[in-house]
Amino acid sequence: MTDILQQIPLFSSLTNEELEAIKRVSITKKFPKDQIILLEDEDGDTLFIILQGKVKVTTFSESGKEVIFSILNEGDFFGEMSLLDGKPRSATVVSMDNAKIQMIRRVEFYRLLEDHPRIALRLLEELASRLRKADERIESLAILDVTGRIAGILLQLADERGVRDTNEVLIKSRPTHQELANMVGTTRETVTRVLKQLEDKDYIMMNGKDVTIFNVEQFKHDLYF
């Protein structure tokens, strides 16, 4: 377990002794695909850390349309907002495949922060990063057309988990067309059309669930800015 924890950015700077302390105060649970892990508006006092699998952070509009805020992968965490401010959950989180999640209750987590302040610093860094990404998402929804919004999501995925080779980036296991649509506020058909246009113009190449972005800087210049 400590080997897995050491690969998680939130805990990567901790010693084996400190990792063992986390292991003692946490529990691990497996969630099958499409299972709700936490619900919007429910009370929450737990931090969730993804050891395996991926989840989506989502909500639904009054018309029932799903809006995906983000997709989180191994090493990411969620539930920190309600953990810190004691208010109800701000979104629903659903497993996208079989997931293994580590959970730490508020009391134990606060004790960890007191004993190991480096965790608090990493937490602040991640929260700042998420706030910056949220600002960028809001800006893109306000001023970019649908092609620019889709390009922005691809660039964000490339930055978060892309494999770079010179000026190309491979994004493995990209979101589905419907998931991309729910992230940028459009339809699945529009996403399919835009991705095909980008591929025809040699900006990207689709290969099953993988996508390669060619000449990333040119891609940013032409489609995102």
Amino acid found at 128: A
127-141 pLDDT per residue, tens = 888 888 877 777 777
Q: What is the pLDDT of residues 19-73, one digit of tens each?
A: 888 888 889 999 999 999 999 999 888 999 999 999 999 998 777 888 899 899 8
Check for a shared fold between 2-133 and 144-224.
no
Contacts of 160 (CB under 8 A, 6+ apart): 73
Domain 144-224 annotated CATH 3.30.565.10: no
Domain residue spans of the chain:
2-133, 144-224
CATH class of the domain whose range is 2-133: mainly beta
b/e per residue, 200-209, with b = 16+ CB within 10 A?
eeebbeeeee
